[in-house]
Chain A
Amino acid sequence: MNYLIDIFLISLSAAIINNFIFYYFVGCCPFIGVSRRVDMAFGMGCAVTFVITIAAFLSWGITTMVLMPGAPLSSFIAGFFVSKESAATVDLIALSYIVYIFAIAFSVQFVEMYMRKFFPALYKSFGVFLPLITTNCAILFACLTIMSNVAGVENPADAWDLGRSLVFSFFGGVGFTIAIVIMAGIREELDLCDIPEPFKGAAITLIIGGIISLAFMGFTGVDSGIRNAITPVQEAAMLESVVPVQTAMVEPNLQQKIRGIND
């Protein structure tokens, strides 16, 4: 039950409350550049959601198996060369950025080849966006967030498992799609408007983005509100079974970390 609430709150937070574009500003380039027509924007959003989920799967696997301090695979391999004790402390986290970029490039390539072979119609509709996605910040951002929530937490029980990572990145992609489709819809109407000459193009897009972002700020606190509404029942049940209240809610930590920027 606790796990389900956690999953629900992570998805809500990634898709709406802390929207990738309007809260973290990642993926602004396609937001400004591609979002001219609704169908193209939707195709781009689907492609990003698809790739981001695969990249999250890869990066979660790589982080837990290879990169993390004392990860099983790397310490197993290091065990052949050095003593058991020093092999257990192998820490490859410094390599993470290079590895993630590789993982993203690989998953984009893979998705492109797979789609061209098996879903030609789908490939036609959003295959053109796939090469652009390699340098989309949203994907790398999702990988980095997963890394900081797997390897960067102090309490090992707080670390995200595969389910949480996948849900976070999938709904992050959904949030990206929502944002880019809203923007494309507004921009289609904007073609009919009389905009001052210097503001045509990117400038008015940014200002509108600001206003939408203002609207999305209205969701701030919805997740903690829902959590407070649910937890009293939980805690009563918890107290009876005398289990230490081990709420695995990682979301507040993450939010605090990012909110630090706003201080």
Chain B
Amino acid sequence: MADQPTASERFIQGILPENPVYRQLLGLCSTLAVTNGMKSAITMACSVAFVLICANVAISMIRDLLKPHLRIVVFTLIIAAFVTIADRVLAAYFYQMSKTLGPYIPLIIVNCIIICRCEVCASKQSVFIAASDALGQSLGFGLALSSIAVIREILGTGSLFGIHILPASWPDWVIMVLPPGAFITLGLLLGFVNWLAMRKSGGKI
């Protein structure tokens, strides 16, 4: 275990150097689908954070009992249980939001970020490290979602969190809140992040 990263390293890596969306390209379905407004993006990020932290901690606690050939099934079942909790809570307290997000909350089950973190970190390291890793990754996911959502919501509707901030003469770029806007915004931002990384490391991605 000597060469495994420590808790603080895991936490920092999740936010930018190993950002789940921009660097690892995981969880793109939810990223593309919910980022047409800040409210839905933040709800989604919170649900993913809840599921990721709980699943990572739970799996880290039982990591010595896991059999290699059954581990994916165990991961998926634990994740599905926590997603059910998140979905029920959302439906109970934020009914409108859960209607808006629709099938994308249950689709967290097959979100690759969570399975990837369970596999890479939680099934190998202790509870505290797994929790900080989950926290870092979910912060990174939240950052990525909100960076896309800010651009799409401002350009698409001229508002942020549903409050108008651009002058009324702004011609809403409706295409930005429709599916094509999601693909194009994420593509451009991804290129931008790659460019930043290349400049930092001197020409290498």
Question: Which A residues contact B (CB, under 8 angstroms)?
Answer: 22-29, 32, 94-95, 97-98, 101, 105, 135-137, 140-141, 144-145, 148, 196-199, 202-207, 209-211, 213-214, 217, 257-258, 260-263
Contact = CB atoms under 8 A, between A and B. Distances in A.
Contacts of A27: 29
Interface string B157-181: 0000000000000000001011111
A207 B80 contact: no
Given A258-B102, A260-B102, A214 B187 contact: no
A154 to B, nearest CB: 14
A94 B84 CA distance: 7
A101 B109 contact: yes
Contacts of B194: 197-199, 203
Nearest to B157: A263
Contacts of B178: 217, 262
B76 A137 contact: no
Nearest to B192: A198
A25 B81 contact: no
A23 B179 contact: yes
Given A101-B80, A203-B187, A206-B190, A24 B33 contact: yes
A1 B112 CA distance: 43
B59 to A, nearest CB: 16
Given A148-B103, A214-B175, 18 more contacts: A25-B182, A29-B28, A32-B28, A97-B83, A97-B106, A98-B81, A101-B80, A140-B110, A145-B103, A198-B191, A199-B187, A203-B188, A205-B187, A210-B180, A210-B184, A213-B180, A257-B99, A261-B101
B195 interface: yes
24 contacts: A25-B179, A25-B182, A28-B28, A28-B29, A29-B26, A29-B29, A94-B84, A97-B83, A98-B81, A135-B112, A137-B29, A140-B106, A144-B106, A145-B103, A196-B191, A199-B187, A199-B194, A203-B190, A207-B187, A210-B181, A210-B187, A213-B183, A214-B180, A258-B102
A211 B29 contact: no
Interface in B182-205: 182-184, 186-188, 190-192, 194-195, 198, 205
Contacts of B99: 257, 260
B100 A260 contact: yes
A64 to B, nearest CB: 19
Contact of A204 (B28, B29, B80, B187): B187
Contacts of B34: 261
Nearest to B40: A261
A8 to B, nearest CB: 24
A144 B29 contact: no
Nearest to A139: B110
A28 to B, nearest CB: 4
Contacts of A24: 33
Interface of B: 25-26, 28-29, 32-34, 36, 40, 73, 76-77, 80-81, 83-84, 87-88, 99-103, 106-107, 109-112, 115, 175, 177-184, 186-188, 190-192, 194-195, 198, 205
A207 B183 contact: yes
A24 B183 CA distance: 12
A213 B179 contact: yes
A257 B103 CA distance: 10
A119 B87 CA distance: 40
A140 B102 CA distance: 13
Nearest to A23: B179
A252 B29 CA distance: 23
Contact of B180 (A148, A211, A257, A258): A211
Contacts of A148: 103
A198 B177 contact: no
A260 B83 CA distance: 22
Given A94-B84, A140-B106, A261-B36, A26 B25 contact: no
